[in-house]
Structure 1
Amino acid sequence: MRCGSGCGRGCPWRGARSPMRRTWRGRGRVTRRTRRLGRRSSGRRWRWRSRLSLPCRRSPWSRWWIRAGSRWTPSSPSSSSPGRQVQRIFEALAPKHLHNDARSLVEYSCFRYLSRDNSDLHSNLKELAFQKLVFVTMLAWEDPYKEDDSPLSSLDNYSVLGRLVGEDAFVRIAPAVAGVADVSTAHYLFRALVGAEKGLSFDLWTTYLAELLKVHHGRHRQTHQMGDNFLSDEQVLCIGSSKKRPVLKWEDNIAWPGNLTLTDKALYFEAIGLSGTKKPMRLDLTDQNSRVEKAKVGPFGSKLFDSAVTVSSGSTSDEWTLEFVDFSGETRRDVWLAFISEIISVYRFIREYGPGDNDPAIHDVYGAHKGKKRAVSSATNCIARLQSLQFIRRLYEEPAKLVQFYYLSNAPFGDVVLQTLAVKFWGGPLITKAKSSNHMSPQWQRSSEDPSSGVAHVYDVDGSVYLRKWMTSPSWASSHSANFWKNSSVKHGVILSKSLVVADKNLVEKAMVNCKEKSKVVERTQATIVAATIEGIPSNIDLFKVFGFHLVV
């Protein structure tokens, strides 16, 4: 038998499996004899209440996240079941119209557990059961009331064979897991993984995560092994060295093979000569004048091979021309171009949107001193995901769209998305020092002002403060920025953290909605221009329609 919403054999959120239950009616005293006879001392009998018509207020998928909390983290003793406890908490926090919304419950159960983790890469990703739980959650988000013949009592017994996750579910759930995806690039990550397929399969999902874990593990090993050759505060991100596909550094029309290493601050090149490997050369990528662009190289000054990049660090003397030999095309060069561009872009973002290193106000906002580290970690995670796609041969046609800081610096409405990222990285509770006669103790303050007021500071959805004095970028004065922050508050959702909002969107997600819409317009315009170039401008009327010309026939 099934409950009213058809969630399986007996609703796990309604108690017993039977579709009927007995309830006492009347005020009579219950005794052993009257209980055996099925009536109270007053003579009133049991009343059978049907449960078939009652709607299921709980999605059966969400209880696996409740069990996950007790499996991967210590659970506190409670007299009530975990499911009913989460039910009461959810109904106490959520607006009334969300109490019977199963999708909101799936989000709450998932986000509630994930909000406990503050690491750059979730520690449970190495467990296959956790990977399956996230995948099943994406399926549940798409259709939380779906009837299924598989037993819902065990995640291990639930079959995901042939099940595919859609783009909207991936974009909603995957960025909530630390290190798996970013909100700003999740759409392109999904399209790169899926390719020509209809959706994301479980095998492809686990393959991607396994490769992602290998990349992070390899970084720690390489940083430890090569620590003497680099600065102590740098982390090795990737190494470009291969006998079949070497990296060549061009100097005076001469190509020198060598090993190229990218860290979170610089590029290192170790030339390989007849006498062995030479001392590595370093090119700083944190300088405000650092830049990288595509280049063509060839012998005797010819431009035969379109497989190189030119990287500079502010002066002509600090300019490198690097060729990435790839006989299969330009993919390898484009990937390394995205790697280097992301490191340059994240430090440009820090200079434009973050406080200075010597700014005393950074100590007035709790956690703001970690903002720079958070931004760099976000960029290095983007590079790790792009490396994973490269290793499993699932690269997107434009690798630059998979690294968020470089992509947003060139995307329409991307400056507002960067503003929301700045509030996310540097925002926090405001700390004031309350002086007393004997001691001084820090106090937390969360402003009750409307975040959209724009009078002084900017506030995140959880009340975190981003100080007005840090808003030095010209983008804050734009009209579309002002319009966005006027309507940035959360009105109907449940806020678990600045990044996790149930039944609503956080600031980055809201800004990305506008960015995606404007990007689609730009892509359609570019496609029209390309078509006009091929077919001839006079014969392509659509081009004139895009630019607003009124044709009179």
Structure 2
Amino acid sequence: MDLKMENEKSKKKKKNGLLAFKSLFSFKSELGSDDDAATTPPYQPLPFLSPLANSVLSRCSKILQVQIEELQHQFDSDLLDDVKQPLVYARNFLEFCSFQALQVETIRPDYLSDKDFRRLMFDMMLAWEAPGVGNQETAASDEREVEDEDSWSLFYSDSTNMAVQVDDKKTVGADSFSRIAPACAIVADIITVHNLFDVLASSSGQRLHFLIYDKYLRSLEKVIKAVQNFSGPQMVSNLSLAEEEIILEVDGTVPTQPVLKHIGIAAWPGRLTLTNYALYFESGMGLYDKAVRYDLASDLKQIIKPELTGPLGARLFDKAVMYKSSSMVDPAYFEFPEFKGSSRRDYWLDICLEIFHAHNFARKYNLKEGQQSEALARAVLGIYRYRAVREAFKVSSSNYKTLLCFNLAESLPRGDAILETLSSRLILLNSAGNQCGLLGSPSATRQVVHPVSRVSLCRLGIISCKEVDIIGEATSLVGDVFVGEVNPLENAVKQSMKNIGRAEAAQATVDQVKVEGIDTNLAVMKELLFPLLGSINRLQLLASWKDPWKSMLFVVFVSYAIIRGWIKYALPALLVVLAVIMLWRRIIGKGRPLEPLKIIAPPPKNAVEQLLLLQEAISQLEALIQSGNIILLKVRALIFAVLPQATDRIGLLLVIMAFAFAFVPLKYLILLAFLESFTSNMPLRRISSERDLRRFREWWIRIPAAPVQLTKPDDKKTR
């Protein structure tokens, strides 16, 4: 009995210790503060909202300094009836209050460092998933204790996993994150918000924990502070930046992580700087020379791509970014040396392409100055988010998962539709200057578009604002979200995302059927072309007249078809037959997988045999190209009358052919060409045909080739 009581006491102490430790990772609610209780007037919770939604609503009311009844009155009177239907009333009212509270909170430049702001945004997401009274059980689960007490331990592999297991019930899904996060422009972009959620929730079963979200926002705050330090007078004066030009990223300042610039066979270290208009490279270490500017904004037919580089121009290391434009003689290669992988290079390639694509987007859709600045600000915010995720979670962007909106639009299927929708939204900026609209009101936001990205940069202290400040203070700003509605950009992204699965599935089948080796690939191609090769072999058999009766019937049938004019229906008939075969296979093979193509693999070859086979194939290709060049050179000699007698005959033949095409019906010319080529091997004509072919070869051999002179290129490489 005593032993049982001791065990119960031990469990109770352990449970209390768990709850105490759990409290370390939870912030106090506004209802639990004595100060709040003293300063906030009592309010009556709305009966149609869940406890968590009421808690969020009370905090929004305090931030806005507006009574909850007044907020509800604004919602009922100012918004459309579509967003006030009973089934969606609670969630839309929560969105309405949340968006307005976030607008007020983001006016402060240090809002990312405020842990209460970070907690409020996350609670908004939690409440969005459980807004109504019917979701009380779900909302209450956020306060449940960890039941498996015996499995709990202070010693986890890392602090994030430990905190996640302690606070494992407070998680949000992709839908709630994509609704609340884009309301704050620095936190998420409506185009890439789903990719951002996938990155943040990749290690937790596609449910986002507060500890991960909080870590992301704290990393974002560090990035903003680092960017603010870039604007020092020494760096700005050394680069000679324009008025609207801001520094986004700098690399090469640490001696152990240099950036090497290659031009020709020469290379030197230096500091690489990216702005929202150009790349700058300053050669040197510690003391830097005058910066060389590589433009990303002008239309100079720039090429930016990954490239191999190495010492003395050797192509050894896949760690460089190549920049080439029409204003340069030789391309510049920026190498990012590192011992393992090429994450530095990939990061710089992504952010450089983002700025490049943003300027291309502005030129393509003829955006004006203010519209172009908003597009660039959108790209800049995306780079900050990408950097924050990269530094906090050590991840890099992958195909279809990029956190940069313009890069994503370039890589997604139907990404041009996303850019068209974005351009149509930015065009509305012209009429947004002096108009005010209720935050999140569909009736207002359809006509009014504000430069939320530029205002966000201004409030964070990244750019100095003039007219942006006026717009930001005179209107209610929000990200690309409408209360109760889906943003057109989000619709365009979802439509594009539908094609990703099909593209990835198709690419997976392509990767599966790829085979190695020249001989193996030739065997596969031969098997795939078997129907065509079989038809060609049958035609050759008929043309050889080994079976005279079949050949004669074929000649008579084709000749009759040509005379009757049926030959023009040959291609349409072939296409119809193929279509009928495809439809028939679709009907009879419905639901059955396609049988794999069986190919007899050639004997395996080692690396040396593969190289010899490749060398033989290259030799055959070279011989084929040489024969083609000889034919062209002999034709050139005939045209320029190197051999006058042959030129006279060719000229006369060309005149006769011209008269024939002019005055003889085309079907008779086709019939003549068919009979000449197909009956040349019949027994009556074989001897004369062989004699005529021999005479033609002898005549062709006597024609000289036109002369060719090879000159060395003028090599003026920059050293």
Residue type at the aligned position of 2:237:
D
1:125 to 99, 108, 112: 112
* CA deviation map 1:142-166 (0-9, x unaligned): 23322417789xxxxxx99222222
Deviation at 1:394, TM superposition (A): 3.5
Choose 339-348 or 64-73, whichever is displaced more: 64-73
Q: Which residue of 1 aligns with 2:68?
A: 83
Q: Which residue of 2 aligns with 1:380?
A: 380
Verify: 1:186 aligned to 2:198, yes or no: no
Q: Which residue of 1 aligns with 2:504?
A: 523
Rounded Cα–Cα distance in structure 1 between residues aligned with 2:181 and 2:362 = 26
Deviation at 1:320, TM superposition (A): 1.4
Residue 257 of structure 1: SS of its match in structure 2? strand
Residue 407 of structure 1: SS of its match in structure 2? helix
1:247 and 1:324 in contact (8 A); partners too: yes
C-alpha change, 1:461 and 1:195, in structure 2 (3 Å) is: same
Verify: 1:200 aligned to 2:185, yes or no: no
Q: Which residue of 2 aligns with 1:280?
A: 291
* CA deviation map 1:218-239 (0-9, x unaligned): 2122113422122142211111
Rounded Cα–Cα distance in structure 2 between residues aligned with 1:443 and 1:102 = 32
Q: Determine which structure has the larger strand proportion and give its number.
A: 1
Verify: 1:306 aligned to 2:293, yes or no: no
2:278 to 263, 266, 272: 266
Q: Which residue of 1 aligns with 2:537?
A: none
Residue 293 of structure 1: SS of its match in structure 2? strand
Residue type at the aligned position of 2:70:
Q
2:259 and 2:269 in contact (8 A); partners too: yes
1:107 and 1:502 in contact (8 A); partners too: yes
Residue type at the aligned position of 2:113:
K
Q: Structure 1 vs Structure 2: percent identity of aligned residues? A: 29
Alignment length (residue pairs): 424
Q: Which residue of 2 aligns with 1:141?
A: 128
Q: Determine which structure has the larger helix proportion and give its number.
A: 2
Deviation at 1:513, TM superposition (A): 1.2
C-alpha change, 1:534 and 1:195, in structure 2 (3 Å) is: farther
2:97 to 100, 103, 109: 109
Question: How does the TM-score come out when normalised to structure 2?
Answer: 0.53
Deviation at 1:15, TM superposition (A): 7.2
2:230 and 2:247 in contact (8 A); partners too: yes
Rounded Cα–Cα distance in structure 2 between residues aligned with 1:85 and 1:316 = 63
Rounded Cα–Cα distance in structure 1 between residues aligned with 2:75 and 2:364 = 40
* CA deviation map 1:502-551 (0-9, x unaligned): 22201111111101112222222212211222699979x9xxxxx99857
- Give the gaps of 5 or more residues in structure 2: 1-30, 32-41, 145-164, 451-475, 529-581, 596-719
Deviation at 1:272, TM superposition (A): 1.5
Deviation at 1:276, TM superposition (A): 4.3
* CA deviation map 1:101-158 (0-9, x unaligned): 4322322221233355887x97522210010011111122223322417789xxxxxx
Q: What is the correspondence of 1:157-236 to structure 2 with a 5 Å cutoff?
A: 161-162=167-168, 163-198=170-205, 199-225=207-233, 226-230=235-239, 231-233=241-243, 234-236=245-247
1:245 and 1:326 in contact (8 A); partners too: yes
Rounded Cα–Cα distance in structure 2 between residues aligned with 1:429 and 1:308 = 41
* CA deviation map 1:268-316 (0-9, x unaligned): 111116x942222111111222231010012343221011110123333
Residue 85 of structure 2: SS of its match in structure 1? helix
1:460 and 1:498 in contact (8 A); partners too: no
2:49 to 43, 55, 58: 58
1:463 to 447, 465, 482: 447
Rounded Cα–Cα distance in structure 1 between residues aligned with 2:143 and 2:317 = 58
C-alpha change, 1:64 and 1:425, in structure 2 (3 Å) is: farther
1:249 and 1:255 in contact (8 A); partners too: yes
Residue type at the aligned position of 1:261:
T
Q: What is the correspondence of 1:354-503 to structure 2 with a 5 Å cutoff?
A: 354-357=366-369, 370-398=370-398, 401-428=402-429, 430=431, 462-464=446-448, 499-503=480-484
Rounded Cα–Cα distance in structure 1 between residues aligned with 2:313 and 2:414 = 40
2:261 to 249, 265, 273: 249
Rounded Cα–Cα distance in structure 1 between residues aligned with 2:204 and 2:90 = 28
- Give the gaps of 5 or more residues in structure 1: 1-8, 18-54, 77-81, 153-158, 358-369, 432-441, 452-458, 467-494, 542-546
Return the index of the structure with the highest Cα Rg: 2
1:265 and 1:343 in contact (8 A); partners too: yes
Residue type at the aligned position of 2:197:
F
